[in-house]
Amino acid sequence: MAKRVLTTESGAPVADNQNSATAGVGGPLLLQDQHLLEKLARFNRERIPERVVHARGSGAYGHFEVTDDVTAYTKAAFLSEVGKKTELFLRFSTVADSLGGADAVRDPRGFAVKFYTEEGNYDLVGNNTPVFFIKDPIKFPDFIHSQKRDPFTGKQEADNVWDFWAHAPEATHQVTWLFGDRGIPASYRHMNGYGSHTYQWTNEAGEAFFVKYHFKTNQGIRSLSAEQGAELVGKDANSHQTDLLQSIERGVAPSWTLYVQVMPAAEAVEYRFNPFDLTKVWPHSDYPLQRVGRLVLDRNPDNVFAEVEQAAFSPNNFVPGIGPSPDKMLQGRLFAYADAHRYRLGVNHTQLAVNAPKAAVADNYGRDGFMATRNGARHDKNYEPNSYSGPAQTDTPLSAPLAVHGWTGTHAAPEHTKDDDFFQAGELFRLMSEDEKARLVSNLAGSLSQVAREDIVEKNLAHFAAADPEYGRRVAEAVRALRED
């Protein structure tokens, strides 16, 4: 086998990769040592700005196979027939911590899927919880700031975390999820994934439906207690990455079954609560789960930086038959995600291998910018319309139009007859076993008791009491006991 030759980035062979060029033996380094300067300059730049949220992540390739006919609801080609398979990449992540954070911590998990469909890439960006803390994107930067490191102390502060939640009663449902048993998954393989937002499906007849995605783990739900999580972090801070990597390398391919809840668009207006409110779930008794297919992960990335760190997901990457809903948080993310990637990775990040379409061809008038690799031939035009046979519009919308009416302005979300910030949090509490309730109360009290200001504590206790009197009383008693110690 021929010996491979080490070269510079311009392809020139490297004569010596062990010694820098100097002015004589033991003398100062020479500016002319192109190989040394290139290596040092590349090393200085081999990290890119980490994600503000979802920085700590793991990913894998796999496929999605349709198992049930859903063509009555969507014309999406990758869902068009039973047995059809589509290649995909899935990235798991924690939300609040940095790239160097630990895996087994109490935090929501990102669950982002990129389907490489024949009609272009479809990105489904979700979490391992069906709800979220807030319902309006204008509050998102403030929410994340409250959960991140304090600018002065340089660490997460309980006062900031709970002060924000004290002023965001709609967070009570997600806080109950987060501090319950599923707040620390045992691994990425042993948790569910959710689209969380409400999306629109449109069928060939143009009929519109609103849907919610549920990826149910086929490995079974497994979670860690606070004590187990702390112990695991001490043993292996990369525990979830280790588990995912090793399971796939052993040939144990993790899988999830995708279900959807389907609401005819006409029913959304009169539904008893706002179906586009990200802090609420749709009861399964109203809209049962309907099976769609099976997602399987069977190949690890060859390079974590190139394929996990540079993976860019954006919920505005739709395909024909799938579109947005009036969910305000989703509407904000349609802009924010793509903009974050343009900042981190550059305007041409969609040309990177992990982000580029695989079963379709990207053909548009985007040119130039940093790291452009697809600039067209000499006679290709960079404007449209043109008379030079460039790509043209189809005149066929991807999804059905959304009706709008009323005056422009900064409006609160429309309220339906049964809208409430606390009812579903109370339902979740009442569904728990006694042991689950005890652990939830202990987890909440352990965090809330660290807050210095009593008024912040009392505001949050009032939220739990509004969800369920027993819930509020038990958390109050537990916090009091810890603060008196």
Q: Which amino acid is at 287?
A: Y
Which candidate in 35, 63, 127, 197 is catalytic?
Answer: 127
Catalytic-residue membership of 379? no
Q: Distance (Å, rounded) from C-alpha 237 to C-alpha 207?
A: 48
CB 149 within 8 A of CB 55: no
Structure tokens at 206: 């143009």
Q: Would residue 316 show up in a list of annotated catalytic residues for this protein? A: no
Nearest to 371 by CA among 352, 385, 394: 352
**One of 54, 190, 197, 349 is an active-site residue; which one?**
54
Catalytic residues: 54, 127
